[in-house]
Amino acid sequence: MSLSISPDEMLVEGAERTEDESERPAHARDRSALSLRLSRATFVGGIALTVALFAAGAWSRRWIADDGLIVLRTVRNLLAGNGPVFNADERVEANTSAAWTYIVWFFSWLTQIRLEYVVLGVALTLSLAAMVFAMLGSARLWGGTSTALLLPAGVLVYIAVPPARDYATSGLESGLVIFWIAVLWWLLMRWAQADRVRVPELLGLVFFAGLAPLIRPEMALVGALALLMIFLAPMPEARFSPTVLRVLIVAAAGLLPMGYQIWRMGYYGLPYPNTAVAKDAGGAKWEQGFTYLWDLVGPYYLWVPLLVLLIGGVFAGRSGLVRPSPRKLDGWSVRGLRAWLRSPAAVVTLVLFSGFVLTIYALRVGGDFMHGRMLLSQLFLLLLPVAVLPVRVPREGLRAVGKPLAVVAVAWLAAMAWAVVASGTTAITNGTKISSSGIVDERVFYVLNTGHDHPIRAEDYLDYARMRPMVEAIANTPDGGLLLNSPSFMMWYIAPPPQPIPEGGAGHTVYFLNLGMTSMNVPLDVRVIDPMGLAYPLAAHSDRLADGRIGHDKSLFPDWVIVDTGMVDRKPWMPWYLDEDWVTQARAAMGCPDTQALLISSREPLTFERFRHNFRNALNFASYRIDRVPKYEIQRCGLVDPIPQPPR
C-alpha cells in the first residue's frame, strides 16, 4: 500500500479534460486552463485553511485527559521492560486501542522525549492529517470537472464542534481513529475509481482495513464492511485466479489482527480489552444514550449543518458534478451489483451506513461521560462525502446558474455560517461539577479543578484535589500499605501491611478512581488499581450498577481490596469506615474457585501452559461476574458464610 499523493491528486484529485485540447479554440483552451488553475488553487488553499484553523483551535485547547495519562502508564511499563501492562505484577490491557498504545510507545522510544509531549504531538499530527485525507477522498468523489471550486465544507463543520478540538490533543486515540477512517475513505475512493487495480495496492488496502479492531474495537464494523465490499467485488486481472486472490485478501487483512487476538487471549486471558469488561460494552442504556446524543446535537444545533450539507450533496450529485465511474455498470443483476460494489456510490453508502450503525451502538451502550467524545467518529463518517463541496460558477455568468447549483452554493454558505457561530458556543456552562446526566466537559472540568489552563504534564494534576497528599502519604510510609480515600474525599487512610515488614518495605497500593493522574505521579513499583476496574480485574468483573453514572457504573467496595492486598484487616489499623464482618466475608468470597481462576489468569507467571489455558478460557473469563456485596457473592458461589446469620 502506498500513501503517496501525486501532484494532480493533491491539487484537484482527478480533474480531467473531456476533449482533445488541440481541437478547441485557443481562447477556450486558455479559459479552461485558467479554470483548472483556479480550481486547484482553491482546493489547496482550502486544505491549508482547514488544517491551520484546526491546528490553531486544537492548540488553544491543548491538554491531556486523565484517561490519556492511563495510556502513558502502560507505555512506561513497556519502556521499562515490564510488558504491555498497567501494573507490573498483573497482565491487564487497560487501554482500549491497542494500536494507539504501540504507536505512542514507538515514538517515545524513538524520540526519547517526555511522554506527555510525545502523545500530544502524535495526537495533534494525526488529527490534522485526518482532515487532509478526508478532503482528498471527497475531492475524488466530486473531482469530475475542472470548472467546480472544491470548497471545504464538512471538515469545517467537524472542527467547529468544540469536542473535536478538545480531543485532538487529549492523549486519547480520537485522532488516530479519525485518521484511520480518513485514510481508508481515500484509499477506497482510489480503488473504486481506478481503471486498473494493481494487486499490491489492493493487498495494501485490505491490510489497512484489517487494522480496524486494533484502532478501536467498534471500528471493526467499518473495517469488516469495507473488506466484505472488496471481497465480493470483481477481482482485478492477475497472474493467478480470483479465488487465490481472495485467499490472499483474507490473509493480508487478518494477519495482524488475528495474530494479536491470539496473543491477547493467551496473554491477558480476555478476547477484548479489559476496558470493555469494566464498562460492560455489551450492556444497554438507551435512555442515557439519547441523553448523550442530545447533549452534543442540541447545544450546537448540529442537525442544521448535517441537514443542509445532505441537501447540498444530493443536489451536487444531480447537477452532474460527481466524477463518473470508469466502468459501465450492468444494472441490478448479481453481476451488476458486484460491479457496483467497486464504485464511488458504494463507498459513500459504506461510510454513511457505518456512521449510522455506530451511532445506534453508542445510543445502546449509553454514550459516554465525556461530552461529545464517543460520537466524534460517527460525525466524521457522516461528513466524509461532503468534506469538500463542489461549487461551480458557469462560464456564462451568474444568470446561467441552475437550481441545483444554486442549492449547493446556499447549502455551503449556510453550513459555513453555522460553523462560525458554533465554534464559539459552550455547551456545558458549569464545568466545575458533574451534571445530573453524568456528562461533563472533561477538558474544562480539569482546567478548573487543577488551576492550569493546559494540564498536560503529570505534575499539573498534582494540583487536583487529593493528588499531592497521596504523594506525601506514600513518602511518609516507608513500610508500605494500601491507600484508601476517605468517604468525604478529603484525605487518605492507609491500611498497613502485616508484620514482619520485609526489608525495603511491603510496597504501596493506591485504590482510586482517577487512574491516569494517580499512576503517572507515582513510581512503577507502586500498584495503582481502581474501583471501576479499568486496571483491576476483580472490580472489572463485578456487576454493573443499574443507576450508576455512565462510564463509572461499577464500584467495588474497598473491603475486597483489604483482603486482596493482604493488609491488616482489624481495627484500629483498618480504616474506621470499613466493617470487619464485611472484610471477613470478602475473604471467604475470594475463595470462590472461579474467582481464583480469573485472578490467576493475569497474575500467575506466563508459561506456555498458562498461555494455552488463558486462550481456551478467555470467553468464559470475559463473561464472568461477581456480586460486589461479599455476603451475596458467598451465596452466589455456594460458599459457607463465616458470619453467623441472626435467627429470624
Q: Which of 150-164, 333-347, 456-470 has the lowest mean pLDDT?
A: 333-347
Confidence at 334, pLDDT banded by 50, 70, 90: confident
Distance (Å) of CA 219 to CA 184, 208, 212, 426, 647: 12, 12, 5, 29, 55
Show me where the domains of the chain are located.
33-62+93-322+333-424, 461-637
Q: Which of 85-94, 207-216, 489-498 has the lowest mean pLDDT?
A: 489-498
So what's the pLDDT on residue 488? 66
Q: Which of 85-89, 544-548, 631-635 has the lowest mean pLDDT?
A: 544-548
Structural contact between residues 581 and 467, judged by C-beta atoms closer than 8 angstroms = no
Q: Which of 70-74, 98-102, 332-336 has the lowest mean pLDDT?
A: 332-336
**Whole-angstrom distance, CA of residue 37 vs CA of residue 8:** 11
Among residues 493, 471, 475, 497, which one has the least CA distance to residue 484? 493
Q: What are phi and psi of 151, to 5 degrees?
A: -100, 140
So what's the pLDDT on residue 163? 94
Confidence at 12, pLDDT banded by 50, 70, 90: very low
**Whole-angstrom distance, CA of residue 457 vs CA of residue 446:** 13
Exposure letters 339-348 (e unless 16+ CB within 10 A, then b): bbbbbbebbb
So what's the pLDDT on residue 174? 95
Confidence at 279, pLDDT banded by 50, 70, 90: confident
For CA atoms 139, 142, 145, 146, the dihedral sign is: negative
> Which three three-digit cell numbers place residue 548?
450508576
| Neighbouring C-beta atoms of residue 53, cutoff 10 Å | 19
pLDDT at 27 over 80: no
Q: How many CA atoms lie within 13 A of 23 on its CB side?
A: 4
Mean pLDDT over residues 544-550, rounded? 81
pLDDT at 33 over 90: no
| Neighbouring C-beta atoms of residue 284, cutoff 10 Å | 12
Higher pLDDT, 24 or 526: 526
Among residues 609, 626, 627, 605, which one has the least CA distance to residue 617? 609
So what's the pLDDT on residue 31? 59
Q: What is the pLDDT of residues 508-546, one digit of tens each?
A: 999 999 999 999 999 999 999 999 999 999 999 999 887
pLDDT at 145 over 80: no
316, exposed or middle or buried, with CB in 10 Å at 0-12, 13-18, 19+? buried
Q: Which of 351-365, 392-406, 441-455, 631-645 has the lowest mean pLDDT?
A: 392-406
Complete DSSP assignment for 406-427: HHHHHHHHHHHHHHHHHTT--S
Q: What is the pLDDT of residues 215-230, one digit of tens each?
A: 999 999 999 999 999 9
So what's the pLDDT on residue 501? 92
> Look-up: residue for cell 487471549?
265
Q: What is the pLDDT of residues 565-593, one digit of tens each?
A: 999 999 998 888 899 999 999 999 999 99
Q: Look up the pTM and report it.
A: 0.92
**Whole-angstrom distance, CA of residue 429 vs CA of residue 436:** 14
**Whole-angstrom distance, CA of residue 49 vs CA of residue 43:** 10
Structural contact between residues 249 and 206, judged by C-beta atoms closer than 8 angstroms = yes
Structural contact between residues 166 and 442, judged by C-beta atoms closer than 8 angstroms = yes
> Which three three-digit cell numbers place residue 585?
466475608
What residues contact 209, with CB distance under 8 A and at least 6 apart?
A: 184, 223, 226, 227, 230, 253
Mean pLDDT over residues 369-385, rounded? 94
Mean pLDDT over residues 456-467, rounded? 94
Mean pLDDT taken over the chain: 88
**Whole-angstrom distance, CA of residue 16 vs CA of residue 324:** 11
